């Protein structure tokens, strides 16, 4: 919620300025980079602690004498792939900032 509010505030201030220069546009790309860094870190953290959660769920399954439990490996793969996509966004935006 806070990030979306900060995003709206930033672009409302940039939009109020009548003269948009390439320098302002270059600095406007830093916010999506920052968001992508935090999102990639959160996704990697989620993938890292997923094995702990998986073990706890399987322990609960065994305690309740159930036959099956949800599979967490697919979620781990999706979290890692999403994190890789965020890293690609970071590299691409960094390239644009550095090039122009």
Residue 25, pLDDT score: 74
Q: Which residue has the higher pLDDT, 13 or 30?
A: 30
Asked whether residue 2 carries a pLDDT value surpassing 80, the answer given is: no
Does 58 fall in a domain?
Answer: yes
pLDDT in tens, 29-76: 888 899 999 999 999 999 999 989 999 999 999 999 999 888 888 999
Element at 90 (helix H, strand E): helix 73-99
Domain that holds residue 71: 40-100
If one counts the domains in the chain, the total is: 1
What is the predicted pLDDT for the residue at 60? 93
- Residue 45 falls inside a structural domain: yes
- Considering the chain, what is the average pLDDT of its residues? 84
Question: What is the arithmetic mean of pLDDT over 18-31?
Answer: 74
Measured distance CA(26)–CA(74) in Å, rounded: 37
The answer to the question of residue 64 being in a domain is yes
Identify the CA nearest to 94 among candidates 17, 20, 37.
37
């Amino acid at each position: 919620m806070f990030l979306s509010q900060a995003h709206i505030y930033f672009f409302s201030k940039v939009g109020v300025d009548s003269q948009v220069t390439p320098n302002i546009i270059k600095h406007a790309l830093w916010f999506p980079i920052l968001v992508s860094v935090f999102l990639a870190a959160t996704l990697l953290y989620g993938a890292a602690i997923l094995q702990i959660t998986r073990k706890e769920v399987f322990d609960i399954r065994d305690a309740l004498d159930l036959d099956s439990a949800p599979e967490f490996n697919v979620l781990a793969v999706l979290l890692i792939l999403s994190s890789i996509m965020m890293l690609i966004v970071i590299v691409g935006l960094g390239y644009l900032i550095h090039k122009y």
